[in-house]
Amino acid sequence: MNETTVGISDMSLYVPRWKIDLSDILRVRAEEDPSFERRLRRAIESTNQISIRFPAPWQDSVTLAAQAARPLLADEAVARGVRYLAVGTETSVDMSKPIAAYAQGALQRSGVPLPRTLSTFQVQHACAGGTIAMMSVAGMLQATGRPGESGLVVNSDIARYQTPSTAEITQGAGAVALRIERDPQLLELDTHTVGFASADEDDFFRPLASVTARVKGRYSVDCYNDALNAAFIDHADRRGVSPREALEAHDLFVVHVPFYRMAITGLTRLIERHLELDPAAAGEFMDAHHFSDGIEASRHVGNIYSGSAYMSLMFLLWNRYRAEGDAIVGKKVLIASYGSGNTMTVLSARVAEGAPRVLAGWDLQRVLDAATEAEFDRYARFVERETYSLDHGPVTDGEDVDPGLYFLKEVRDDGYRIYDYRAE
């Protein structure tokens, strides 16, 4: 193996336990405004979503990030070897201090021996921030990394939209952490053939001081598909092959998943265009490449913004390992990460030799099974919060924090945020 190979050695997913079924949202919204029922029902049917996860009042993007990162730092030598801690997000908690710095402190105070000699930073570009952070950390490790050093990249977000609206059903919350290393155990990244596409679009944005995003639904979908095609062509060009050859060279496919049906539509159009297939044949191609193995979980969790493509990647690899065992080694994965406003990154990866050992330790079904059904009143309190200040902690909110969880303990009068950990 080339000593400059860099990639992902392990991943960890955390989603809040509170879940609400979209049927419950539909029922209440229909009672509030019967004329809105048809539109909302049609939106649910067209997205094919089932439920969404949302955080407790004392959880935010920092606590989600620390929660996802902690399992990857259980080995003391690994924790002490972290050189970069980066967070990709579009739901920051501070206009200056990055989530990564807050998360570093929360992890250290909970006993994780992260060193002082590391770099923390945050990357923002809607849902693509985590991918840009991953490529940045991978490049720095590839250029200057020493034996035993690694980077930790966390995708952490809480998706919020105006309510009631048809976009309400595509909310979600969660975080995915990635440990980046040279000679990786899970996925080797091809950093030389990454395809890019960016443009200044107003399909999706969140003005300063606004807790909810502004989105132009159909236009945003068109921007997604256009950027996917442009970045994919750039990727093929950098490989020195045709778009057809680039598609046929990959065994597995991962795309950004704002909602279940959009991921299917986006990849279908790419396949139709470059393999010259009709919709039915494109669907057969996707089935043969097990695309649904990665995106099914999004129907139950919702859109977790910067982490959505990586949640899909985790479920895809986990499901294929359970089906194929060691035969998963060597599979080629095409990953497309999108951020509205807009940017797209398309990169290729290879499943590494150590992947079976890593995947054997995952239990993603436990993440889905850990959901707790929420009454609508609890969900209503979440969507009615006007800011991310969350200036009430677990004590004043009247809720206890389960052992093993990070939580926002206090927001001081000057606005500084203090986080804590409830020991198991």
Q: Which tokens sit at 103?
A: 């998360």
The answer to pTM > 0.85 is yes
Q: Do residues 360 and 326 make contact, with C-beta atoms less than 8 angstroms apart?
A: no
Q: Do residues 161 and 212 make contact, with C-beta atoms less than 8 angstroms apart?
A: yes
Task: Please enumerate in sequence order all residues whose Cβ is within 8 A of that of 137, keeping only pairs 6 or more positions apart, or say none.
Answer: 84, 86, 151, 153, 180
Q: Do residues 169 and 159 make contact, with C-beta atoms less than 8 angstroms apart?
A: no
Q: Do residues 232 and 346 make contact, with C-beta atoms less than 8 angstroms apart?
A: yes
Q: Is 288 helix (H, G, I), strand (E, B) or coil?
A: helix
pLDDT tens digits, the chain, 424 residues: what are they?
345 799 999 999 999 999 999 999 999 999 999 999 999 999 999 999 999 999 998 999 999 999 999 999 999 999 999 999 999 999 999 999 999 999 999 999 999 999 999 999 999 999 999 999 999 999 999 999 999 999 999 999 999 998 999 999 999 999 999 999 999 999 999 999 999 999 999 888 888 878 888 888 888 899 999 999 999 999 999 999 999 999 999 999 999 999 999 999 999 999 999 999 999 999 999 999 999 999 999 999 999 999 999 999 999 999 999 999 999 999 999 999 999 989 999 999 999 999 999 999 999 999 999 999 999 999 998 988 754 554 455 555 557 899 999 999 888 889 899 999 999 8
Query: Which H/E stretch holds residue 317?
Result: helix 308-324
Strands 187-198 and 6-14: antiparallel
Show the CA angle centred on residue 331, arms to residues 125 and 237, nearest 5°.
55
DSSP sequence for 36-50? GHHHHHHHHHHHT--
Q: Do residues 10 and 154 make contact, with C-beta atoms less than 8 angstroms apart?
A: no
Separation CA 122–CA 68 (nearest Å): 16
Q: Is 218 helix (H, G, I), strand (E, B) or coil?
A: helix
So where are the chain's domains? 6-381
Q: What is the DSSP letter of 148?
A: T
Question: Which phi and psi angles does 49 have, rounded to 5°?
Answer: -80, 155
Yes or no: domain 6-381 corresponds to CATH 3.40.50.1220:
no
